[in-house]
Amino acid sequence: MYKKIRSNWIKHFDFIIIDLVCIQVVFLLSYFLRYGVSSIYVNPIYTRISILLFLLHIFIVFFSEFYSGILRRGYLKEFKAVVKHNCILLAMILAFLFAEKQSADYSRALFFIFWGLNCLFMYAAHILTKLYIKEQAKDETNSEYLLLITTKALAKKMVAKLLRSKYSTYKLKGIVLVDESVTLQKVLGIPVVADFDTMFEFARTHVVDEVLLSLPQSRIEEITNQFLEMGITVHINIDRISSDLPNRTVQEVNGFTVVTTTINMVTVRQLVLKRLMDILGGFVGLLATGIAFLVFAPIIYMQSPGPIFFSQVRMGRNGRRFKIYKFRSMYMDAEERKKELMAKNKMNGLMFKMDNDPRVIPIGEFMRKTSIDEFPQFFNVLKGEMSLVGTRPPTIDEYEQYDFHHKSRLAAKPGLTGMWQVSGRSDITDFEEVVTLDTQYIKNWSLGLDLKILFKTVAVVLGRQGAA
């Protein structure tokens, strides 16, 4: 799924919060400098001004372009923007007091102290925040991996523009040159990783979140449709638009004006609410995990001495690797014995499932039927590697056998439960049907759908319907 940034108001929400905190702290400090520490906020009329400053800042931001291009502003431009904003804020406060005929009740010196200090504090906060964002952009866990697909003639110009932004969260994964075979070469330090014939295979086997196309019109539609089938977001230069592309929006990517198309486009608000739901559910789930540990840990150890928890590397969003956690429900040699049991696999495709699995310890059967073995994954949810609702993460060996269209089920963050689990896990034996259900979930995702799946999951687990 692709996160759509609708406006600077949402895009720079972090700066808005920082500025609101800054305003309140500086106003309190200004009051202290004017009247002394013993009289802080004993006068309710200044409490009123504190609230008014909060509202006026939001008003100014909403009707101005104060945060537009803030990450591209240099030190001098940033200082000018901050001073201008504070001048408007001070003018509106004084105008309000004059209109209310209350200006004589307030200290003008306090407001000018506030103006000067807030210019300095807000400027410093903006600079420090941008430095922090710049450092965060270097952290690959916070980045979106972008694959550039272009021609040899355009490659250098496009790479230079993509690398220009210091604050971009995009990491250039590599370059695909469609008009020549791949040789060991780099463009401005970025490797050429594939050509027209090998680019889809590269995207299948590597972490690629989005691709940027700058190609002749004749090739765009075919390439775009293939990447969309893989669940990968596609950005296309503005002059190369097809009316048949789904979920289109015009935006800017590192200085390029593009048309973006994806299998589903969601807002920041939706993702924030989903994350808040994950955090709340994660804390409740960890509490339940602690209780389950006290009950089942001794039984697991008695039936099969060894670690209580089982961990395994799985494939997350767009092929990111992470370690998943479970209560151990199998004997210690379960992974080695899996190869011997492949002939009894009831799944048609790239998943393993069998009835009466001999590797499962006695208590493990109950834990798997009630999904108690999955409880430690609430820790993965809190870490942000998984969500409460999503698609089940495949193992490395399963992922390595994926066809192109199978990767679409990794377009969203993996989840504890999902469309497949509430559709009768034991009754579905065709992996292609699993892929269809997961892709359907991603294309039609909404918070309402997540809640519906969570409620259905509770009913399925309590009724032990379709249990693994």
The pLDDT, as a whole number, for residue 427 is: 65
Reduced to 3 states (helix: H, G, I; strand: E, B; else coil), residue 11 is: helix
Q: Percentage of the chain with pLDDT > 70?
A: 82
pLDDT score recorded for residue 468 = 42
- Asked whether the beta carbons of 138 and 131 are under 8 A apart, the reply is no
* Average pLDDT of span 84-104: 83
The answer to whether 418 touches 434, Cβ cutoff 8 Å, is no
Residue with tokens 């292609």: 432
Q: What is the mean pLDDT of residues 56-60?
A: 87
Distance CA 371, CA 461 (A): 7
Would you kindly state where each structural domain of the chain is located, as residue ranges? 2-138, 142-263, 268-463
As a whole number, mean pLDDT of residues 269-285 equals 90
**Would the pLDDT of 338 be above 80?**
no
- Name residue, tokens 């994806």: 262
Amino acid (1-letter code) at residue 237:
N
Q: Using only C-alpha atoms, what is the Rg of the chain?
A: 28
Q: Which one has a higher pLDDT value, 315 or 264?
A: 315
Contact 439, 409 (CB under 8 A): yes
Residue 248 pLDDT more than 70?
Answer: no
Closest CA to 323 of 399, 393, 276, 273: 393
* pLDDT band for position 432 (cuts 50, 70, 90): confident
In DSSP notation, 177-229 reads: ETTS---S-EETTEEEEEETTTHHHHHHHS---EEEE---HHHHHHHHHHHHH
| Higher pLDDT among residues 251 and 453, named by residue | 453
pLDDT over 80 (residue 125): yes
Of 59-73, 119-133, 329-343, which has the strongest mean pLDDT?
119-133
- pLDDT tens track for 188-217: 888 999 988 889 999 998 888 899 988 877
**Residue 424: pLDDT over 70:** no
Evaluate if residue 175 carries a pLDDT over 50: yes
Q: What confidence tens digit (pLDDT) does each residue in 289-323 have? A: 999 999 999 999 999 999 999 999 999 988 899 99
Residue with tokens 């102290």: 113
Q: Residue 453: which pLDDT band, with cuts at 50, 70 and 90?
A: very high
Q: Name the band, by pLDDT with cuts 50, 70 and 90, for residue 466.
A: very low
Q: With cut-offs at 50, 70 and 90, classify the pLDDT of residue 95.
A: confident
Look at 27-36, 322-331, 340-349, 354-363 and tell me which has the smallest mean pLDDT.
340-349
Single-letter code of the amino acid located at 213 = L
CA–CA dist 204, 207 (Å, integer): 8
Instruction: Determine which helix (DSSP H) or strand (DSSP E) holds 289, and give its type and residue range.
Output: helix 268-303
**Mean pLDDT calculated for residue range 81-104:** 85
> Which CATH number applies to 142-263?
3.40.50.720
Is residue 266's pLDDT more than 90? no
Amino acid (one-letter) located at 13: F
With tokens 């608000």, the residue in question is 269
For range 106-120, the mean pLDDT = 88
- On the question of pLDDT at 6 being above 60, the answer is no
Query: Average pLDDT of the chain?
Result: 82
* CA nearest to 372, candidates 360, 364, 380: 364
Rounded mean pLDDT, 379-387: 93
What is the per-residue pLDDT across 16-55, written as a single tens digit (0 to 9) for each? 889 999 999 999 888 888 877 655 555 667 788 888 888 8
Using the predicted structure, report yes or no on whether residue 467 has a pLDDT greater than 50. no
CA distance 126 to 409: 39
Q: Are 73 and 8 in contact (CB under 8 A)?
A: no
Q: Position 87: which residue type? A: C
* Rounded alpha-carbon distances, angstroms, from residue 112 to 90, 108, 263: 8, 6, 53
More confident position, 184 or 7: 184
In 3D space, the residue among 404, 274, 310 whose CA is nearest the CA of residue 1 turns out to be: 274
Percent of the chain at pLDDT exceeding 90:
27
123 closest CA partner among 170, 76, 177? 76
Give the list of residues 6+ apart from residue 447 with CB closer than 8 angstroms, or none: 270, 273, 274, 277
pLDDT value at residue 419: 86
Q: How confident is the model at residue 236 (pLDDT cuts 50, 70, 90)?
A: confident
